[in-house]
Structures are given as structure tokens and as C-alpha cells.
Amino acid sequence: EIFQYFFSDLLVVTPRACGICGASHLTCAAWALDTAWKTQVPRNAILARNIGQLSESLQSIPRHHYGLFMIDAVNENYRHSKYYEEAVKRYAPFTGKSYEIGVTISGKPVEIYALFGGQWPHSSYMVPGGVMCSPTLSDITRSWSILEYFRTNWLEPVWLGCSMERYEAIKSYDDFMAWLEERPEHANSDLGMYYGIGKDIGLTKFGAGLGKYITWGYLPDEDRYQRPTIETRQQSVYMKAGVYDAKTDKFYPVDQGVTRESTTHGWYDEGADPVHPFNRTTRPMQANNRDFNGAYSWCTEVAHEQLGRLEAGPLSRELIAGGNLGESWQHSDPLVLDMYKKMGPSVWLRHFARMHEACKIYRRIEHCLREFRLDEPFYIKPKEQDGQGWGATEAIRGALAHWIEIKGGKISNYQIIAPTTWNVGPHDARGERGPIEEALIGTPIQNPADPVEVGHVARSFDSCLVCTVHAHDAKTGKELARFRTA
């Protein structure tokens, strides 16, 4: 059991909670121990942790877009689309021109991660009190070179069709539409093509979801979070934390204390009452029979104590980035919020929000590389002690958090709530559906034997399912199709 591990083992086990988001889990584990032990973390270490988080997220953007999302545009159901022939040329698996470029370029950012973390995935270089690396000027220079390669070989010529600076000037839906028409290179870029294909095949018309969103915020500021505590985290991160309720158009600050997890329809013997992660004990059922009136999922039902079920992910981050929360020094970006209000929520906008983050993630890596002071420490040895800790971040898929309780020098409880837990969770005791379940309601299905539209919805959340999803006829129970969503 987890409490039998040494703390060093914890930093080896937790990155393996996900095969693609190891840096995010490692980040949470390190900060959870830091807050429990009341450590001091030097600014260089914060920058080095952020670089790992950012480089992992940057690689995921083209990898998901080409390897998982756009390949659906070549589905036979879309042969009627005027964009179909071009979609096949660009996005057909293994042979598409953009597919090849995008999947190949996705491997570059994690080269930066490897310079700091030694390897990717599953590095354990983040430790309580700092990091186990001491980069040289050569490492920083190589990182700049890798970053520039990513920009000049994909981000600008293939994805944007323009300079980053021109794209960053877009602040509203009207600006975006004007940008599309400004030059042929914009409309013919993969971003321009995504807009054209998405609108033509109807991705702007379904997959809305709950209309309520959460982000923990991320990227602790190197000068504001050197003595981390649970209470001061949310006001110390560059990317703002918060909740947005689109139905009332209101923004709310968020604290980890409002998190509630229940198992009404999950395969767990814990009772159905919502509990805070510090108070949860995980007890899986031995029999996993599927009963849609009872238990039918390994996922739990996660909710805000007052606001209920919430969607996590890039769309959530970008909506909160456009709101009125936070401090003046924290990141702000009005584009996606303006698009949301003028276009409405959809599969298209959810995925656009993810791709829109490429430039800002790139810029923040630049910031980290500029801010290192190589003659200052990367680690301050902490003192182990009992206590409770919380580490949170934004994995590329959304809000991720780890809760730890230490008693008698051992881990007595450890809980993780991932973005997929927020999004995939089944309906709860009140009958409120989870974000993906809600987003699937009303999805038009052209061919029940090949429900590619269901795949669009699932992949727009980029859930870390790593399993097969089955489609069944609700009346007969007959299996209609079986396909991968991750």
C-alpha cells in the first residue's frame, strides 16, 4: 500500500500514474510534499519545474491534434465535405503531410525536458526542496535552439501561417475572422483549415457540455511561491485559478477545500456520500458488473461543494484567463471567452482552446530560460515532518491535484483527482451527469455503425482513458461499434 513507500519511492511511482503526463503528476507530488513539510524552494527550482511541465504540454499539442483529433476528418462519413480531399492529403494517418510533420515535431519539446529531467517520460527530477539538476549554460543554449526549431519548422509555417506576434495580436472573435481573411497563408494554414473543416462538418454545433468550468491554475511564480503553503498557492500562480459558470456569466475563486468526491455509480465500496479527498479511503469492489442504475465505472464523481459538476481542460483555462479574477501580474487573454459568447460552446471551440495555448506555452518556456540564475541554488534540503499537503497543476488535459497526509513519518493517505476524473465521471446521486456524458447528449449520429461524432466529443476532452469504448443501442443493448478514443 502507498503508506509503505519511502518518500523517494513516491516520486518514482506518481509520474507513472499517466504515460503521457508524468511531469504533471511529478509536479503535483513534489508540491504536495513541499506544502506538507513546509519547505523552502529556490527560484531556480521553480523555473526548472515549470520548464518540465511546459515542455511536456507543448509536445502534446501537435501530437494530440494530428495523431488523435484530425485523423477523424478523413472518416468516410465526411466524403461529402468540400474539404475532404485536402483533409486526406494533410491528416491521413502516417501518409498525411501535416500528420507527418506534426507527429515528428511533437518529439522536440521533450528534448528540453530531458536536458533538465534526464529522461522523458517518467523522470523523478523534481524533489521536495527543489530539483535534482543543475543545468549549465550549454543546457540553456541547447534548449533555446530546440525551442526555435519548433517555432520555425511547425508553429509558424504550418500551424499559424504567420508569425507568432501576428497571431498574438488576435483578441476577439472578430479579430480572428479578420485574420482568416487577411492573407491566403492564414486560411491555408492548419489552423485556418481546422476552422474550415470544423465548421463544414458541424463540429461547431454539438458537444457543448455542462457550461461550468474549473482550473486550478498553474506555473507557480518563481518569486512568489518559494515558501509554499496550501493557502497561498492560488494567488501565486501565473495562470489564474477559478471557476466560470457560463449560465450566469460569473467567475468564482476556487480553493481545494471545495472539492468533493463520491462513488454513487463507481466500482467502490465507500458509500455514496461526497467527501473531501483528505477524508477518502479508496476501496475498489471485487465484482465489476456494469449496472447503469448502480455501478458502471471506475471513475468517481467529482464536484464543487456548492457549484456541482465542472468541466476541466484547456477550454476551462482559457475561459478563466478571459475573466475578471486574479491579480494584474497574472496572465489574461480575452479571445476564447469572446468566442464562447459569440459562437457558443462546442467540440470545435474546446479543441481550439487547446491549440490556442501553443503560443503562450512557448512564451512561458522562453521566460523560464531567461530567468535562470545559474550561480544560485536549485535545491534546499527540507526537514521531514508530519502534516497535510496539496500539490496542483494544469496537465494539458486540465485540473490535476494530489492530496497527501503524513502521520508518524509515513504516508497515511494519498489521493489523486485527474482531469479525466472531473470529465469522465458518471452521473451522481443528484442525477447530474459528468461533463462528457452531458456533452454527448444530442450528438448527431450519421452512421450508428461508425459513430465518429461520439469520438469527436470524447477526443475534444482528450481524456486519458487508455481503454476501449463500446457503443451500444440503448433499447436493445446490441453493441454497435468498438473504437479507441485515446
* Grid cell in block for residue 375: 550561480
- 394 found inside a domain: yes
347-371 and 43-64 helices, crossing angle to 10°: 150
- 300 found inside a domain: no
Return the bridge partners of 484, or none. 468
Say what the pLDDT of residue 468 is. 39
Q: Taking the alpha carbons of 317, 321, 325, 331 in that order, is the dihedral positive or negative?
A: positive
Return the bridge partners of 302, or none. 261
Element (H, E) at 407: strand 398-407
- 53 found inside a domain: yes
Say what the pLDDT of residue 286 is. 82
Number of domains within the chain: 1
CATH number for the domain spanning 48: value is 1.10.645.10
Ramachandran sector of residue 472 (left: φ over 0; alpha: ψ -120 to 50; beta: rest): beta
Return the bridge partners of 215, or none. 242
Give the span between the Cα atoms of 422 and 307, in whole angstroms: 13
Element (H, E) at 219: strand 218-220
- 273 found inside a domain: no
Percent helix, strand, coil in the chain, to 5, is: 45, 15, 40
Q: Taking the alpha carbons of 298, 422, 113, 103 in that order, is the dihedral positive or negative?
A: positive
Walk along the chain (486 residues) and give the pLDDT tens digit of each residue.
Answer: 343 345 777 888 888 877 678 899 999 999 999 999 999 999 999 999 999 999 999 999 999 999 999 999 999 999 999 999 999 999 999 999 999 999 999 999 999 999 999 988 888 999 999 999 999 999 999 999 999 999 999 999 999 999 999 999 999 999 999 999 999 999 999 999 999 999 999 999 999 999 999 999 999 999 999 999 999 999 999 999 999 999 999 999 999 999 999 999 988 888 778 999 999 988 888 887 888 888 888 889 999 999 999 999 999 999 999 999 999 999 999 999 999 999 999 999 999 999 999 999 999 999 999 999 999 999 999 999 999 999 999 999 999 999 999 999 889 999 999 999 999 999 998 889 999 999 999 999 999 889 999 999 999 999 876 543 555 666 676 766 665 544
- 285 found inside a domain: no
Asked whether the whole model's pTM tops 0.85, one would answer yes
Which residue is it, cell 486519458?
464
Say what the pLDDT of residue 65 is. 98
Give the span between the Cα atoms of 62 and 198, in whole angstroms: 17
- 277 found inside a domain: no
The overall longest dimension of the chain from CA atoms, in Å, is: 69
Q: By three-state DSSP, how is residue 412 classified?
A: strand
Whether the CB-CB separation of 401 and 417 falls below 8 Å is answered with yes
- 302 found inside a domain: no
Whether the CB-CB separation of 279 and 403 falls below 8 Å is answered with no
- 264 found inside a domain: no
E strands, 28-160, in order: 126-127, 130-131
Give the span between the Cα atoms of 401 and 408, in whole angstroms: 23
- Closest of 223, 128, 215, 132 to residue 392, by C-alpha: 215
Which domain, by its residues, includes 350? Answer: 2-258+307-484
Q: Count other C-beta atoms under 10 Å from residue 45's C-beta.
A: 26
Whether the CB-CB separation of 52 and 125 falls below 8 Å is answered with yes
The dihedrals phi and psi of 311, each to the nearest 5 degrees, come to -90, 135
Whether the CB-CB separation of 29 and 10 falls below 8 Å is answered with yes
Return the bridge partners of 244, or none. 213, 251
